[in-house]
Amino acid sequence: MKRILSLLFALALLLGAVGASAETKTTPSICIVVAGTLGDRSFYDSAYEGIQRLQTDYGTVINCIECGEDSSMYEQALYDAAEGYDVIAAVGWQFYDYLADENGVLAAYPDKKFLFIDNALEVIPDNLVCITYSQNEGSFLAGYVAASLSTTGIIGVVGGEDSDTINDFIIGYEAGAKFKNPEIRVLKQYANTYEDPAKGKECARSLYDMGADVVFAVAGRTGEGVFAAAQEVDRLAIGVDGDQKYIDPQHITCSMVKRVGQSIYDMVSDPDTYWCGGQVFTATMSSGYIDLAYGTDDMPQQVDDALKAEIAVIRQQIIDGDIVVPSAFE
Amino acid sequence: MIQFSDLVSFSSLMSTLGTATIVILAGLGCLMTEQAGMMNIGLDGMITASAFAAGVVSWLTGSWILGLLAGLLTGLLLGLFYAVMVVPLKSDEFVIGVTLNLFLVALSTFLYRNLPPAADGLHLDMGSGMAIPSISFGGNAGAAVSVSILVPVSLALVAVCQAFLYSTRHGFWLRAAGEKPESLRSVGRSPDRMKLVASLLCGAFCGLSGAYLLNYVHSFTEGISGSRGYVAVACVIFGRSNPLLVTCAALFFGLVDTVSTRLQVAGVVDSTLTAAFPYVGTILMMLVLAIRNEYRKAGQAKSALERQEAVK
């Protein structure tokens, strides 16, 4: 009898412990709505990786709605997500109009939390946090690397389209390149699509043809074409958003990492620290959301240790505010 | 500052040829079905599916030849499906074409994400085995220009198709199957069989186009075709299903695209404006065609009148 009792007691304790730990670790369910499709190995995949990590770490209920480039789906997708989930992250500046709408989804679901990734509204309701990224800071480092590796004195960048966010990358990139070499020429191209690698290849090829020997891809899936072009002409490229070096370690020198997933992860897993309803959360280099990544050590490195050390110094200067990187949002 | 030589140079022409080949191959397929009177507009889906099949097989086997064959085979099967649906089952050809486009793009995306080897979700690098040999030239500013051997092969195929359609018996029958099936029947030939041949050819060309596309962008991605299948349909309409003219239309589109891409770098033309170039080109081309048709009709009417006068 005693034995059974003690066993029961132990079981109860165990259950209690499990219950308690589950309680402290519970997070609200989250649905991300992306303005493109997953599989870009870049921006959207980074966001998805963030919520996948939430699922493994906290058992969070997650989902993802992909809209493709079909803008007619954007609004409905936001409503669908808000209907079934506690936190809704709109990933992509394309959702601006639907979130800015006073009678839109934000007003319809005042109790839900919304995240707007990669853009900020003029007026932000209390149930929304806009997350913007200091991509100009990381791009500054990318530009510095490009200018250091360039032998022709010409470097290039392929942007997804002529929008503020993309231009923020480009302005930072140009500033970084000029910081290294004031004489450098920076050629730019907009592919006008985030979903067409063949177009990206053509854009990059034109830049390589004009003498650029390092091209920065800032165009999501379109950027895959930039890497294909780099391989074909045997010149260098720089990846974006994720650490893309693994795609082609011989030609991708480094990647400007924008940890979209990490920012979503932090917002959901630790709202006390990060959630700031009604405000803009700026994910900067100093808070670790923006960085330059060189892949893993077993990959061939085009950026040698001396240059990496230089980059580390500049990185610190940006964090300390000694270097102020220009931005497209000013 | 940008120079004229940057816009129209050897390497920019090669770049044009590189992208245009996707459209040329698909266009050759489409024009065969159009000549046989059952235009297949499902090119985009067929290209995507073939690229996917080529990707999977070349990734599993590491052989581009097997990848290419897989693309071809997929195309042929889809061509067979199309022919069966349209000829004996008499479905509407446009509905089947649209279905192919929507379904195949979605199916390849689904399979791409759920294939057992892609357990990590999205990081399956499927183009790596698809290294079709290429020919290299020296280019501008030292950037080597290389084109896949499929590019000259497809140009040769254009000539072959031209010869086939206009200089062989089978080509004549194929055209007759579209234009006047009863006349073909009257000489004891089956129009349905010619339609099947045309549809299989269409599938094979789309298969080639898909395999080439995969090789061109180096790895399979969702929506890999970038809607180039639709551009091919437009080219077939412009080129009136004549292989040479269709190729010219595809090259024209490619060139407009390349030049607009390169004009952008100069910064004199806004990127949103250059994006509109191909469509402005489309309208201009439509206009030229329409005006020429009017003239031709007027000319025909006039000569018909003259003949009547002469008879009187």
State the ipTM, two decimals.
0.80
Rounded to an integer, what distance in angstroms lies between the CA atom of residue A153 and that of residue B147? 27
Partner residue facing A39 (CB), from B134, B146, B222: B222
Mean pLDDT over the full length of chain B: 86
Q: How confident is the model at residue A9 (pLDDT cuts 50, 70, 90)?
A: low
Please tell me the predicted confidence (pLDDT) of residue A25. 58
* Structure confidence by residue, pLDDT tens digits, B189-208: 899 999 999 999 999 999 99
**What is the pairing mode between strands A252-258 and A290-293?**
antiparallel
Q: Stretch B146-154: mean pLDDT, rounded?
A: 89
User: Considering the domain boundaries, does residue B298 fall inside one?
Assistant: no
Q: Give chain A positions within 8 Å (CB) of B270.
A: 162
Please tell me the predicted confidence (pLDDT) of residue B80. 96
Please enumerate, as own/partner, the contacts of B57-62 that have beta carbons within 8 Å and a separation of 24 or more.
Answer: B58/B126, B58/B127, B58/B128, B58/B129, B58/B130, B58/B214, B59/B117, B59/B124, B59/B125, B59/B126, B59/B127, B59/B128, B59/B129, B59/B130, B60/B117, B60/B129, B61/B129, B62/B129
User: Considering the domain boundaries, does residue B15 fall inside one?
Assistant: yes
Q: Give chain B positions within 8 Å (CB) of A224.
A: 217-219, 221
Of B174, B221, B164, residue with least CA distance to B196: B174
Q: How confident is the model at residue B94 (pLDDT cuts 50, 70, 90)?
A: very high
A307: Cβ–Cβ under 8 A, 6 or more apart, which residues? A145, A148
Kindly state the tokens that stand for A243: 């650490």
Per the CB < 8 A criterion, the answer to whether B26 and B82 are in contact is no
Please tell me the predicted confidence (pLDDT) of residue B8. 67
Highest mean pLDDT among A145-154, B105-114, B295-304: A145-154
Query: Where would I find the beta strands (DSSP E) of B128-275?
Result: 134-137, 145-148
Number of domains in chain B: 1
Q: Amino acid identity of B105?
A: V
**CB A132: neighbour CB atoms within 10 A?**
22
Domain hosting residue B177, numbered range:
4-275
Interface test with A, best of B16, B105, B146, B265 (most A CBs within 10 A): B265
Q: Stretch A48-70: mean pLDDT, rounded?
A: 91
Please tell me the predicted confidence (pLDDT) of residue B113. 79
Residue B147 has pLDDT above 90, yes or no: no
SS3 B92: coil
* Structure confidence by residue, pLDDT tens digits, B196-239: 999 999 999 999 999 999 988 888 888 888 889 999 999 999 89
Kindly state the tokens that stand for A313: 């110094």
Partner residue facing B261 (CB), from A152, A203, A227: A203
Instruction: Write down all domains in chain A, each with its CATH number in brackets.
Output: 28-133+261-283 (3.40.50.2300), 136-258+300-320 (3.40.50.2300)
* Structure confidence by residue, pLDDT tens digits, A101-129: 888 899 999 999 999 999 888 889 999 99
Rounded to an integer, what distance in angstroms lies between the CA atom of residue A236 and that of residue B158? 35
User: Considering the domain boundaries, does residue B184 fall inside one?
Assistant: yes
Chain B residue at shortest CA distance from A156? B265
Q: Is the dihedral of CA B284, B285, B288, B294 positive or negative?
A: negative
User: Considering the domain boundaries, does residue B151 fall inside one?
Assistant: yes
Q: How confident is the model at residue A39 (pLDDT cuts 50, 70, 90)?
A: confident
* CA–CA min distance B57, chain A (Å): 19
User: Considering the domain boundaries, does residue B284 fall inside one?
Assistant: no
The pTM of this model reads: 0.83
* Structure confidence by residue, pLDDT tens digits, A27-38: 899 999 999 888
Partner residue facing B122 (CB), from A41, A207, A208: A41
Residue A23 has pLDDT above 70, yes or no: no
* Structure confidence by residue, pLDDT tens digits, A202-253: 899 889 988 899 999 999 889 999 999 998 888 999 999 988 898 888 999 9
Under 8 Å CB pairs connecting chains A and B tally to 123
Please tell me the predicted confidence (pLDDT) of residue A116. 94
Please tell me the predicted confidence (pLDDT) of residue B296. 86
A49 touches B: beta carbon within 8 Å: no
Chain A residue at shortest CA distance from B260? A203
Partner residue facing B213 (CB), from A68, A161, A198: A198
Q: Stretch B254-280: mean pLDDT, rounded?
A: 79
B34 versus B12: the higher-pLDDT residue is: B34
B119 touches A: beta carbon within 8 Å: no
User: Considering the domain boundaries, does residue B124 fall inside one?
Assistant: yes
* Structure confidence by residue, pLDDT tens digits, A278-293: 889 999 999 999 999 9
Rounded to an integer, what distance in angstroms lies between the CA atom of residue B122 and that of residue A52? 13
Rounded to an integer, what distance in angstroms lies between the CA atom of residue A56 and that of residue A246? 24
Of A260, A62, A195, residue with least CA distance to B109: A195
Calculate what percentage of chain A has a pLDDT beyond 90. Answer: 63
DSSP assignment of B35-89: HTT----THHHHHHHHHHHHHHHHHHH--HHHHHHHHHHHHHHHHHHHHHHHTTS
Of B59, B55, B104, B58, residue with least CA distance to B78: B104
User: Considering the domain boundaries, does residue B33 fall inside one?
Assistant: yes
User: Considering the domain boundaries, does residue B282 fall inside one?
Assistant: no
B131 versus B161: the higher-pLDDT residue is: B161
Cβ-defined contact of A227 to B261 (cutoff 8 Å):
no
* CA–CA min distance A225, chain B (Å): 6
Q: How confident is the model at residue A51 (pLDDT cuts 50, 70, 90)?
A: very high
Q: How confident is the model at residue A164 (pLDDT cuts 50, 70, 90)?
A: confident
Tell which B residues from 91 to 110 touch A, by Cβ distance under 8 Å: 109
| CATH number of the CATH domain containing B67 | 1.10.3470
* Structure confidence by residue, pLDDT tens digits, B42-52: 999 999 999 99
Cβ-defined contact of B223 to A37 (cutoff 8 Å):
yes
Q: How confident is the model at residue A138 (pLDDT cuts 50, 70, 90)?
A: very high
Please tell me the predicted confidence (pLDDT) of residue B257. 83
A238 versus B310: the higher-pLDDT residue is: A238
Mean pLDDT over the full length of chain A: 88
Q: How confident is the model at residue A22 (pLDDT cuts 50, 70, 90)?
A: very low
Cβ-defined contact of A201 to B216 (cutoff 8 Å):
yes
